[in-house]
Amino acid sequence: MVELTPQEKIALINQNLQEVLKPEIIEDVIVRQNRPLVIYWGTATTGRPHCGYFVPMLKLAHFLRAGCHIKILLADIHGFLDNLKAPIDLVNFRAEYYRYVITALLEAVHVPTDKLEFVLGSSYQLSPKYTMDLFRLSSVVTEHDAKKAGAEVVRQVENATLSGLIYPLMQALDEEHLGVDAQFGGVDQRKIFTLAQEQLGRIGYKERAHLMSPMVPGLAGGKMSASDPDSKIDILDTPEAVKKKLRKAYALPKETEGNGIISFVEYVLLPSSALENAEGKSKFVVDRSAEEGGPLVYENIDALKADYQADTLTPQLLKSAVTTALNGLLAPIQAAFQANTAWQEIEKKAYPPPPGPEKKKKKVKDKGSKYPGAGATAAKEVAKDPVAAQPDGGIDGIKEGIEKLDVQK
């Protein structure tokens, strides 16, 4: 692979980003210091990863191509702090599940994973030094600023717990404790990034650059969310499920703004196709019959948007083409899952099925103990179920008709 010039590296790092804070830090590291830029991307290990994760994965591919060193933070403690989105007894399982998924996602878009470093948040966030830094930062950041910083990331509820205020402070501190030059995330993280730039200096730590990708709309319009099954496609969804969800997706004819399917083509399918060939050229193909004019081939998003606005490319044609392309991306990931029993076991532990509805107990009519045959009936019931277990593990007393219970059986 041809070595990029410093300016080509910077251009690739900035490609498809919505905003960059402190770009001069990136230029200083790459041009003047002439060393790899160290970037971290973090993800709270809460809900199941969905296809929206392809967006940051493709940016990580750009960073790696530009010679950057990437640290992926599996933020298990953050997941617990965010209004208990991930119960503490599940966060470790979910962190391990995320590691499997992220590795498979990167391999699906032909990114070499040997240049990545995975870091579990709890591996350093429970250390005395980190804890003291958190105390120091909390002494200079106001409640108002902490709440404002997490407004678009931490779940907002009435009478919120203090954990939501700790979350953005920890995300800021992670930059120092991971030893990075820049942090990458969605534009919804901007207020946390600003907090880090404004406050880390007050406890003696340097500023970092911040790289922000745009937010890709969900299938139902609005932000793609792991908690809304109608807004996203799960990594392990079957081809039939993908087809069904895309068929129902929000996509008005001729309307490109807020169209999650077009955004997915722009930020996932076109960039991923460029990684598949030596020339690095993007290509997205929409099949049409000969009567309709034959296939439509797009090498950039502007041409696709123009055809969509002219109704040459209809919602039905677009959905069908995206279904084919996305299922092609997911196929190797799902094959890897099916071939890996350890990954399958972690998936069951990380996302156990919810308990089913309680069965209604049949009411037994109390006839008293004086009716004919009462003693024999009681003896039969005791023989079948002499004791009743309680929810706390205790035992309900011996039933009428039995003088002694043999606990040795």
Candidates 334, 102, 151; CA nearest to 236 is 334
Cβ-based neighbours of 296, under 8 Å, separated by 6 or more:
285, 286, 288, 307, 312, 313, 317
The mean pLDDT of 44-54, rounded to a whole number, is 89
Show which of 322, 349, 376 is a domain's final residue: 349
Q: How far apart are CA 25 and CA 39, in angstroms?
A: 12
Tell me what pLDDT residue 404 has: 38
The CATH number of the domain holding residue 51 is 3.40.50.620
Residue 220 has pLDDT above 80, yes or no: no
Same domain, 194 and 290: no
pLDDT tens per residue across span 116-172: 899 999 999 999 999 999 999 999 999 999 999 988 887 766 777 888 899 999 999
Length of the chain equals 409
Q: How far apart are CA 223 and CA 189, in angstroms?
A: 13
Residue 138 φ then ψ, to 5°: -70, -20
Cα torsion 226, 196, 161, 126 to 10°: value is 90
C-alpha distances out from residue 323 to 254, 316, 337, Å: 19, 11, 20
Residue 34 has pLDDT above 80, yes or no: yes
Show which of 309, 334, 349 is a domain's final residue: 349
Tell me what pLDDT residue 377 has: 52
The mean pLDDT of 250-279, rounded to a whole number, is 90
The mean pLDDT of 12-33, rounded to a whole number, is 96
Tell me what pLDDT residue 391 has: 37
Same domain, 190 and 336: no
Tell me what pLDDT residue 218 has: 75
Same domain, 188 and 257: no
40: enclosing H helix or E strand: strand 38-44
Is pLDDT larger for residue 395 or for residue 347? Answer: 347
Residue 359 φ then ψ, to 5°: -75, 135
Enter the tokens of residue 181: 């030059």
The identity of residue 287, as a single letter, is: D
Q: Rg (Cα) of the chain, in Å, rounded?
A: 28
Same domain, 131 and 249: no
Tell me what pLDDT residue 156 has: 66
pLDDT band at 219 (very low <50, low <70, confident <90, very high): confident
Enter the tokens of residue 337: 């899952």
Top mean-pLDDT range of 44-48, 236-240, 280-284 = 236-240
Number of helices and strands in the chain (H, E) = 17, 10
Is 186 domain-assigned?
yes
- As a whole-number percent, the residues of the chain with pLDDT over 70 amount to 81
Cα torsion 136, 45, 65, 181 to 10°: value is 0
Residue 31 φ then ψ, to 5°: -90, -55
Same domain, 73 and 167: yes
The mean pLDDT of 220-231, rounded to a whole number, is 58
The CATH number of the domain holding residue 273 is 1.10.240.10
Same domain, 194 and 71: yes
Is 228 domain-assigned?
no
Is 200 domain-assigned?
yes
Burial class (CB in 10 A: 0-12, 13-18, 19+), 88: exposed
Is 116 domain-assigned?
yes
The mean pLDDT of 366-379, rounded to a whole number, is 55
Tell me what pLDDT residue 408 has: 37
Is pLDDT larger for residue 248 or for residue 184? Answer: 184
The mean pLDDT of 276-303, rounded to a whole number, is 91
Is 58 domain-assigned?
yes
Same domain, 17 and 163: yes
pTM of the model as a whole: 0.80
Same domain, 96 and 198: yes
Report the number of distinct structural domains present in the chain.
2
Is pLDDT larger for residue 181 or for residue 80? Answer: 181
Q: Is 347 helix (H, G, I), strand (E, B) or coil?
A: helix
Same domain, 200 and 333: no
Structural domain including 121 reads: 6-213
pLDDT tens per residue across span 310-346: 999 999 999 999 999 999 999 999 999 999 999 999 9
Q: Do the bridges between strand 38-44 and strand 182-186 make them parallel or antiparallel, or are there none, so unpaired?
A: parallel
Same domain, 188 and 96: yes
The identity of residue 168, as a single letter, is: P
Same domain, 85 and 181: yes
Contact yes or no for 329/108 (Cβ under 8 A):
yes
The identity of residue 351, as a single letter, is: Y
Tell me what pLDDT residue 370 has: 56
Is 378 domain-assigned?
no
Is pLDDT larger for residue 160 or for residue 224? Answer: 160
Is pLDDT larger for residue 33 or for residue 363? Answer: 33
Ranking 30-39, 248-257, 270-279, 341-350 by mean pLDDT, the lowest is 270-279
Residue 196 has pLDDT above 50, yes or no: yes
Residue 250 has pLDDT above 80, yes or no: yes
Is pLDDT larger for residue 229 or for residue 19? Answer: 19
Tell me what pLDDT residue 215 has: 86
Show which of 213, 231, 249 is a domain's final residue: 213
pLDDT band at 109 (very low <50, low <70, confident <90, very high): confident
DSSP 114: G
Same domain, 142 and 91: yes
Residue 231 has pLDDT above 70, yes or no: no
Tell me what pLDDT residue 322 has: 97
Residue 372 has pLDDT above 90, yes or no: no
C-alpha distances out from residue 401 to 145, 167, 368, 373, Å: 69, 60, 13, 12
DSSP 139-206: TTS-HHHHHHHTTTTSPP-TT--THHHHHHHHHHHHHHHTT-SEEEEEGGGHHHHHHHHHHGGGGT--
Is 158 domain-assigned?
yes
Residue 265 has pLDDT above 70, yes or no: yes
Is 355 domain-assigned?
no
